[in-house]
Structure 1
Amino acid sequence: MSPRPAALVLASALGLSACAAAPAGDGRLEVLASIYPLQFVAEQVGGEHVTVEPLTPPGAEPHDVELSPRQVRSVGEADVVVVLTGFQAAVDAALEARAPEHVVDAAATPAVAEHLAEHPDEEAEGAGTDDGHDHEGGDPHFWLDPTLLAAVATDVAVTLGEADPEHAEDYAANAEALGADLGTLDGELAAGLAQCERRVVVTAHEAFGYLAERYDLEQVGISGLDPEAEPSPARLREIRDTVEAHGVTTVFTETLVSPKVAETLAADLGIGTAVLDPLESQTDAAHDYRDVMATNLEALRAALSCT
């Protein structure tokens, strides 16, 4: 695995439930991040000059996060807040209520905004019913394309520099280093998925559109964008036909979604299951974004019989 940027600072709250950012007391910027991929970027870009607290507890389902009154207050008190608007209604409401001075909205990063517009929020036909997990602007999982996460890192560096001009050069250098590392990851994924016997990926829900688009794969979700939607019988028949037509050997489950439907479908079809992590939340503090993406690559290579 390629070297990481030197400025990796683990958030002290990784093993705890989400809480309001406490005053650092040492001159460091207090940064809030709404979801894990943005927390990772803020830690990497901020380095030793920041403390980063998550608004979504590690291992929690980010779609359903509710903020405590204390957390809502912390949104207005933090030096910098890094969010993805349209993904978590509670976070959007806190932003509107508290109007923090320095905000990075990943949805406004030009490269991300362009892709969000190209991934409309449409459930796969027959995939299931909507229970409120709508995403303004479409599929939000942009971070599964490392090049888009690198673009957000640049915006984070600019905003940190505005809040803390004394260390603006450090933030810019850290963002450049992170961008280079994510570029290396992008190359590893492209090379690892270039020569495969199959290119169809059957997933529990359609969280992997950006990864599939970037690396020329075809995603087929049991459910649509809503991870809790129940697939219709018609959708299950479509999945069966896809598996048979393309010689699919694996149905991918996820870390935060019940594997029951996917495991039952795989058993009925006589094929296996494996885990593909959409990285909506960090489930193991010992493994960061880079580690999990490498694990995802190995899982895909095995399932697709890549050489």
Structure 2
Amino acid sequence: MSVMNTSRRRPRLISVTASAAAAALSVTLLSACSSGDSGSDDGKLDVTASFYPMAYLAEQIGGAHVDVTSLTKPGQEPHDLEISARQTSKVERSGLILYLKGLQPSVDEVVAQSSVKNKVDAATLTRMEEHGDEVGGHAAAHDEHADHDHEEAGQDPHIWLDPVKYAEVAKGVGKAMEKADPGHAAVYRKNTTALLGKLGKLDTAYAEGLKDTRTKVFITTHAAFGYLAERYGLTEEAISGLNPESEPSPARIKDLHAMAKADGVTTVFYETLVSDKTAKTVAGDSGLRTDVLDPLEGITDKSRGRDYLQVMESNLQALQKALGARS
């Protein structure tokens, strides 16, 4: 199934910067190394990752045998990334490219025009699903006049927030690295197995930690946690759907207030890379708390943890507190 570009449905075309960078590829090809070359001067497999969740997999599986470069800088909103000519050149020198098609339009364009032999689209390594503005349709049940004039449901790219789906992606990445660098295949298999074990423990922690809670409903600024909610029997209500920068309608805010009261919601979650203004407005009007639920699109000094596993553990603790988990 192809992945629709719905992660940020902005009414704009891909910027001139992205198009120019992609066009520069024709020039880059003249001086780039052959597609069979890893592109690394130290003999390591040169991996280009589109953003943090892809870079984390490459680092964990590749270990000392890879050089990993992320196209998205720490603190940068990945959906807004525009590829520079220098980055385009870097992509072309890669031994392996890891990306998630549909999440970053400028990356998709550059990768499509690249001659690199080993390209891995994470969206093809697990089953993608559709999540709209109101995950589970729960909020609408409280108000028959709820505003549905939001963006339509589409392929949700946030697969890394479900440990099980992320593990499926990790398996595929491991196999791709074995193919790209067969000389270290045994190491990649060993590291993949170790990572799958860690993700399995994370899945168990979430399943056990969220199985007995006072409420199953939580509110977020945008619908990034649909996969996680489905995996652990929760209901996510997003203020602004798949686009965190869109403004909710008065009808939607009214509906959320009614839902919060009916279901005993205590907290409105916001994320580290987007303004918390809307979350605080909704929470203040309903007398609710606010807290961080990190979609893990990047690690910064504000992140509650140094890597994927630590931040996911912090997210679990935040959900347990908000949902009233019973020990």
Q: Does TM-score exceed 0.5, indicating one fold?
A: yes
Partner of 1:281 in structure 2?
Answer: 298
1:189-238 CA-to-partner distances (Å, cap 9, x unmatched) read 11111111011011111110011011110000111001111000111011
Instruction: Give deviations 1:111-145, integer Å, cap 9, x for gaps.
Output: x2x2x1x315x334747756xxx99x511101111
Distance 2:186 2:77 in 1: 35
Q: Does the 8 A contact of 1:129 with 1:229 survive in 2?
A: no
Structure 2 counterparts to residues 141-152 of structure 1, below 5 A: 141-152=158-169
1:31–1:53 Cα contact (<8 Å) kept:
yes
Query: What is the letter of the counterpart of residue 119 of structure 1?
Result: E
The answer to whether the 8 A contact 1:252-1:275 is kept is yes
Report whether the alignment pairs 1:258 with 2:275: yes
Residue 62 (structure 1) shift: 0.6
Call closer, same or farther: CA 1:46–1:127 in 2, change over 3 Å. Answer: farther
Residues of 2 paired with 1:127 and 1:34: CA distance? 33
Are the counterparts in 1 of residues 270 and 290 from structure 2 also a CA contact under 8 Å?
A: yes
In the TM superposition, 1:63-212 aligns within 5 A as 63-109=79-125, 112=126, 114=127, 116=128, 118-120=129-131, 122-124=132-134, 126=147, 138-212=155-229
Q: CA deviation at 1:103?
A: 1.0
Contact 1:128 1:230 in 2 (8 A): no
Q: Per-residue deviation at 1:173? A: 1.0
- Structure 1 residue 268 displacement after superposition: 1.1
SS in 1 for 2:155: coil
Partner of 2:68: 52
CA drift at 1:93: 0.5
Q: Distance in 1 between matches of 2:147 and 2:52?
A: 31
* Residues 1:37 and 2:53 are matched in the alignment: yes
Q: Which moved more, 1:284-293 or 1:220-229?
A: 284-293
Per-residue deviation, 1:24: 3.8
The whole-number CA distance in structure 2 between the counterparts of 1:205 and 1:255 is 12
**What corresponds to 2:234 in structure 1?**
217
Map of 1:232 onto structure 2: 249
Looking at structure 1, the residues matched to 204 and 245 of structure 2 have their Cα atoms a distance apart, in angstroms, of 33
Q: Which structure has the bigger radius of gyration?
A: 2
Residue 5 of structure 1 corresponds to which residue in structure 2? none
Distance 1:249 1:160 in 2: 44
In structure 2, C-alpha distance between the alignment counterparts of 1:28 and 1:146, rounded to whole Å:
28
Question: 1:128·1:231 contact (CA, 8 Å) conserved in 2?
Answer: no
C-alpha change, 1:128 and 1:277, in structure 2 (3 Å) is farther
Q: Which letter does structure 2 place at the counterpart of 1:282?
A: I
| Aligned residue number for residue 21 of structure 2 | none
The aligned amino acid for 1:27 is G
One of 295, 311, 324 as aligned partner of 1:292: 311
Please give the alpha-carbon distance, in whole angstroms, between the structure 2 residues aligned to 1:260 and 1:249: 18
Please give the per-residue CA displacement for 1:18-75, whole angstroms capped at 9, x wherever unaligned: xxxx954221111011011111111000011001110111111011100100111221
Structure 2 residue identity aligned to 1:306: A
Aligned pair 1:270/2:270, yes or no?
A: no
Rounded Cα–Cα distance in structure 2 between residues aligned with 1:127 and 1:254: 24
How many correspondences in the alignment?
Answer: 276
**Percent identity among equivalent residues?**
47
Shift of 1:99: 3.0
Q: CA deviation at 1:258?
A: 0.8
Q: Does 1:241 align with 2:258?
A: yes
Report the aligned-residue RMSD.
1.8
SS at match of 2:290: strand
- 1:246-270: CA deviation from partner (whole Å, max 9, x where unpaired): 1111111111111101101111111
SS where residue 107 of structure 1 aligns? helix
Matched, 1:302 2:321: yes
Paired with 1:303 and 1:64, the residues of 2 have a C-alpha distance of 30
AA partner of residue 277 (structure 1):
D
Distance 2:97 2:299 in 1: 19
Q: Distance in 2 between matches of 1:255 and 1:127?
A: 27
